[in-house]
């Protein structure tokens, strides 16, 4: 790789690091090409990307970005998985793959500008998705209104029931 190519790669990585909501560093050993292809597909499904990087170029690109806090993690074979949308979905996809392929190991990550540890990445993967959280929130917001409407309707319902019972008695 010549100097022009390296400069291009560093600029591309820096742009990626700055624009991503979540970046997860991974170490990979003993993983074959079909498994990596499957991993890339899973990551794409979660609206993310997977890329193997050179540590020296990644360290240069990390300067001035939140990834500078992970300098010590750029040792050995390193890959990055990143997303510009939903870091939880990316973490879920990676954790599912890591369970079946022990050669892939989390090194750390950055989520929304904050450095996170390996355990925090795994906790992130255990969170419900954004859609699930929004549906739970809407349910919680709707429940009191539903109860109020039911409480307001119960006297009318009871009155209608009493009147129908009186009507049946007279017949």
CB atoms within 10 A of CB 104: 21
Provide the H-helix boundaries in the chain.
3-19, 33-45, 55-62, 87-100, 118-126, 130-170
Shortest CA distance to 21 belongs to which of 86, 118, 89?
A: 86
**Mean pLDDT of all residues in 83-89:** 87
**Mean pLDDT of all residues in 35-46:** 90
45-67 residue pLDDT tens? 989 999 998 988 988 988 888 88
| CATH of range 3-127; options 3.30.2040.10, 3.30.70.1730, 3.40.50.80, 3.40.640.10 | 3.30.70.1730
Contact 103, 45 (CB under 8 A): no
Domain ranges in the chain are 3-127, 128-171
CA 66 to chain centre: 18
Query: Residue 41: what pLDDT?
Result: 92
pLDDT-derived band at 85 (thresholds 50, 70, 90) equals: confident
Helix (H, G, I), strand (E, B) or coil at 83: strand
Q: Which residues pair with 156 in a beta bridge?
A: none
111-169 residue pLDDT tens? 888 888 888 888 888 888 778 888 988 888 888 878 877 777 778 777 778 788 888 88
Does the pTM of the predicted model rise above 0.75?
no
| Burial of residue 50, with CB atoms counted within 10 A of its CB: 0-12 exposed, 13-18 middle, 19 or more buried | buried
**What does pLDDT average to over the chain?**
86
User: How far apart, in whole angstroms, are the C-alpha atoms of residue 51 and residue 13?
Assistant: 10
User: How far apart, in whole angstroms, are the C-alpha atoms of residue 97 and residue 86?
Assistant: 17
Shortest CA distance to 38 belongs to which of 106, 103, 94, 92?
A: 94
Query: Residue 150: what pLDDT?
Result: 78
């Amino acid at each position: 790789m010549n100097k022009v190519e390296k400069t291009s790669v560093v600029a591309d990585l820096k742009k990626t690091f700055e624009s991503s909501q979540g970046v997860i560093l991974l170490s990979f050993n003993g993983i074959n090409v079909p498994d990596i292809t499957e991993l890339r597909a899973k990551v794409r499904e979660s609206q993310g990307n997977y890329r193997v990087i050179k540590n020296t170029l990644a360290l240069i690109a990390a300067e001035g970005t939140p990834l500078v806090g992970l300098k010590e993690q750029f040792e050995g074979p390193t890959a990055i998985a990143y997303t510009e949308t939903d870091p939880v979905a990316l973490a879920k996809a990676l954790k599912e793959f890591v369970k079946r392929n022990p050669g892939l190991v989390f090194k750390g990550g950055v989520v929304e500008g904050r450095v996170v540890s390996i355990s925090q990445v795994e906790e992130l993967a255990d969170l419900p998705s954004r859609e699930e959280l929004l549906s739970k929130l809407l349910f919680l917001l709707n429940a009191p209104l539903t109860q109020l409407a039911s409480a307001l309707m119960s006297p009318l319902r009871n009155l209608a029931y009493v009147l129908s019972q009186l009507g049946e008695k007279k017949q």
